[in-house]
Amino acid sequence: MLNIKDLHVSLDGKPILTGLSLTVPAGEVHAVMGPNGAGKSTLAYTLAGRDGYEAQSGSATLGDADLLGLEPEERAALGLFLAFQYPVEIPGVAGMTFIKTALNAVRKARGEPELTALEFLKLVRATLKDLSMDEAMLKRPVNTGFSGGEKKRNEVLQMALLRPKFCILDETDSGLDIDALKVVADGVNRLRAPDRGMLVITHYQRLLDYIRPDKVHVLARGRIIRTGGPELALELEEKGYGDILAGLAA
Amino acid sequence: MARATDPIGVAAFEGGFALPSGEPGWLTAFRGAGAARFREVGLPTNRDEAWKYTSLRPLARAKYEQVDALAEGAAIPKPLIAGAAQAVFVNGRLNADLSDLDGLDAAVQPWARVATAQWLADTVTANPPNQAMYALNAAAFTDGLAIRVEAGSALARPLEIVFLAAPGARPRMWHPRLAIDLAPNARALILERHIGLEDGAYLANHGADIRLGDGAVLVHAKIQTEAKDARHLAMTRVDVGRNALYDNFVLTLGAGLCRNEAAVSLSGTKSEVRLNGAYAIDGRQHADHTSRIDHLAEDTRSRQVFAGAIDGQARGVFQGQIVVDRLAQRTDGHQLNRALLLSDQAEIDAKPILEIYADDVKCSHGATAGDIDDDQLFYLRARGIPAVQARQLVVRGFLAEAAAGLSDETVRTVILDAIDGALGLEIAS
Ligand SMILES: Nc1ncnc2c1ncn2[C@@H]1O[C@H](COP(=O)(O)OP(=O)(O)OP(=O)(O)O)[C@@H](O)[C@H]1O
Ligand SMILES: [Mg+2]
């Protein structure tokens, strides 16, 4: 499903990703862990197509599609979704308007008919109910004045509504209280499906208790330096990255 | 030796000075004062501090006819507010046939019909006609609307005042006049619409006087979509009594040159003014929003938020003066002017002035100018919204924020719809 091969990304001339390779087959959830500043968000932004995050070399494909040549909205239309580490405030644009515009833009790009106002409302209500979220959030301007936790919930809500093929969650669990963490994990688990893949970037084993990943990767020094099963997260929780990094240096 | 400040453009306009017969003495005197003032100062130019960024010098060369001709077969826009009455002006002249003022007969009248009313004299002559274009309006106006709401009552229907411009082969001009007097505890909702029906050059020079008695509330909004070659000038003078609220919003979208000016006196204790506005301009448009708020009594409050989206080679001007009188203790004044510069050649000139003579006041002003936020654009695009639409949404949100202060939800919705319409957005809310 998602295939990343030998990806090199520099930011303002500074190499951040230096030959990163990673494959997430359809139906699987993979976790990416790694020290602060290792390049996890850089990977996420590069896949989503943010300005300034262009790959110097290597490839990234989703299904048959070469992601790297596409505009961000084209990647979204293909079904790629990034839950931002720092969701952006858009003052003056109601959440409802935003999600409806996004949903219909994606449908249009895929040649599907736009949703009627009623269909949209039904979908929103049902999804809110699934996630035990309040409609009030969608009446407010997007993320504006939201608490950190509310912003993360909002990302999960958007993900649930857009039903992407491939989800990247960049530290969606950071800064959440226990209940919110369960909401986020629940949102992810509900979307687990044989034709959907996920990449969950996190610092904490805690999230992985709720979302059991098929694989855990360690990103450091610009590459995936180790891959293992869920037990790898436990090991990292206990020992930190020191041993692995020391092993590399040796 | 020629004076450095010889008045400009007097010759071009004095032919249009009007002295209709049968007007009451106060009005004749007022017109005379306007004529004298305009002859003294002429058209404002960059030399006047108050017109530093907006010169009307080119008007001296324009040959404007004063024509009250009706537009033939022009489509009259339907009210934007459900159930609203409409007073329709065509080229500055009130047209009774096109208007629907049912149920408002006593309250909303053609100016000439109530010219002898004491309330009208009181409302209009509270201040001398000083501002040059207001003075010109006083000297030259031939028609207008006079609105009076009795104490404790509300205008029976929301009122839309629609100014339709149907330019002719030669440039035209008109100087309509508006007077609004809300007696104590009266309420009214008034929406002005200024609509250019077709391309062409014309000058619309509006003058208005508003008086709010104690406890009165006036929601007064304006949507300006004049023709691209039009010059739209408006001077509104407002006096706000004790506990009264003047809630104003202006949405500026049209006209090649626009100056929307307000002078508000908060003369009663605990009076409040909200002077908010948004504008979206492009090409070579020039939009000037100028205001002066005088806090004259204790515990008065003023709020101003202006947001502008400036594209192409367009230029925005914001001048906001807040004067706090020595007596106006516990004044609470806040002013914010924000501009989105959407092109390299877009320009904003901002001149905030705070003059504070009382010692116990809370006053602030702020200004921002910058490009669209890339993070916002990327966030929207990452959700699948194409770049062009994402830009529109961000601009929309930026402008919409200025309307947040509007106390009336219906009017706010009308304004937001007009913003969406101007940006070509279809948003079902
Ligand atoms: N424009 C830039 N120019 C140079 N270096 C940059 C630029 N932007 C980010 N970086 C650096 O790139 C590195 C990777 O940043 P990134 O945000 O991808 O880390 P991360 O793994 O997501 O960290 P965290 O766990 O703290 O979120 C950091 O060292 C950061 O300082
Ligand atoms: Mg990060």
Q: What residues pair up with B218 in beta bridges, in sequence order? A: B188, B246
Write down the domain spans for chain A: 2-90+164-249
Q: Whose CA is nearest to atom 29 of ligand 1?
A: A37
Helix (H) or strand (E) holding A7: strand A2-11
pLDDT value at position A25?
A: 96
The average pLDDT across B100-107 equals 92
pLDDT tens digits for B201-251?
Answer: 999 999 999 999 999 999 999 999 999 999 999 999 999 999 999 999 999
Q: Which atom of ligand 1 is nearest to the CA of A43?
A: 18
pLDDT at A249 over 70: no
What does the pLDDT read at residue B192?
A: 98
CATH architecture of A2-90+164-249: 3-Layer(aba) Sandwich (3.40)
Mutating to test ligand 1, I would choose from A42, A199, A200 the residue with most ligand atoms within 8 A of its C-beta, which is A42
Average pLDDT over residues B345-370: 95
Look at residue A250 and tell me whether its pLDDT is greater than 90.
Answer: no
* Residue B1: per-residue pLDDT: 42
Please give the share of chain A, as a percent, with pLDDT higher than 90: 69
pLDDT for B18 equals: 82
d(CA B380, nearest CA chain A) in Å: 8
The Cβ-side half-sphere exposure at B55, using a 13 Å CA radius, reads: 9
> What pLDDT sits at residue B21?
85
B120 in Cβ contact with B146 (< 8 Å): yes
Q: What ipTM score was computed for the predicted complex, to two decimals?
A: 0.95
pLDDT of residue B2: 44
Share of residues in chain B with pLDDT > 90 (%): 86
Report how far residue B366's alpha carbon sits from residue B373's, in angstroms, rounded to the nearest whole number. 19
Closest ligand, as measured to the CA of A220: 1
Q: Does B321 touch chain A (CB under 8 A)?
A: no
**pLDDT surpasses 70 at A201:** yes
User: How far lies A76's CA from each of A48, A161, A168, B318, B329, in Å?
Assistant: 8, 13, 12, 40, 56
Q: Letter for the amino acid at B96? A: A
Q: Which of B380, B390, B401 sits opposite A91 (nearest CB)?
A: B401
Which residue, among A9, A31, A17, has the nearest Cα to A231 in the 3D structure? A31
Q: What is the pLDDT of residue B169?
A: 76
**Residues facing residue B370 across a β-bridge:** B340
Ligand closest to Cα of A37 equals 1
What is the residue extent of each domain of chain B? 10-268, 373-429
A76 token code pair: 């979204």
- What's the pLDDT score for residue B68? 64
Alpha helices, H only, B66-142: 118-124, 132-140
For residue B85, pLDDT beyond 50:
yes
What pLDDT, in 10s, does the model give residues B195-211?
A: 998 888 999 999 999 99
Distance from CA of A106 to the nearest CA of B (A): 5
Task: Over range A14-42, report the average pLDDT.
Answer: 95
Average pLDDT over residues A82-91: 95
Among protein residues, the one whose CA lies closest to atom 27 of ligand 1: A36
Q: Copy the structure tokens of residue B58.
A: 């080119």
Asked if residue A14 has its Cβ within 6 Å of ligand 1, the reply is: yes
pLDDT reading at B75 higher than 80: no
Question: Do the chains contact at A92 and B379, CB–CB below 8 Å?
Answer: no
Sheet containing A2-11: which strands, arranged edge to edge? A14-24, A2-11, A55-62, A65-66
- The C-alpha atoms of residue B193 and residue B414 are separated, in whole angstroms, by 11
Locate B294 and state its tokens: 């005088």
Residue B426 has pLDDT above 70, yes or no: no
B152 touching chain A per CB within 8 A = no
Neighbours of A231 (CB within 10 A): 9
- Round the average pLDDT of chain A to a whole number and report it: 91
For residue B140, how many other CB atoms are within 10 A of its CB? 24
Tens of pLDDT, residues B135-194: 999 999 999 999 999 999 999 999 999 999 987 778 889 999 999 999 999 999 999 999
- Rounded (10°) angle between helices B387-400 and B374-382: 120
- Candidates A41, A54, A101, A108: best to mutate against B (most CBs of B within 10 A) is A101
Lowest mean pLDDT among B35-44, B69-78, B94-103, B263-272: B69-78
**Could you give the CA distance from residue A150 to residue A133 in angstroms, rounded to a whole number?**
10
Higher pLDDT, A147 or B348: B348
**Is the CB of residue A15 below 6 angstroms from any atom belonging to ligand 1?**
no
Q: How far is CA B141 from the centre of its chain?
A: 17
B185: tokens are 């505890």
Residue in A148, A133, A145, A123 with CA at minimum distance from that of residue A187? A133
DSSP string of B143-178? -EEEEEE-TT-B-SS-EEEEEEE---SS-EEE--EE
Q: Report pLDDT for B249.
A: 98
* Rounded Cα distance, B123 and B238, in Å: 9
Q: What is the pLDDT of residue B428?
A: 40
**Which amino acid is residue B326, in one-letter code?**
R
Residue B429 banded pLDDT, cuts 50, 70, 90: very low
Q: What is the CA radius of gyration of chain B?
A: 21
Rounded Cα gap, residues A160 and A169, in angstroms: 12
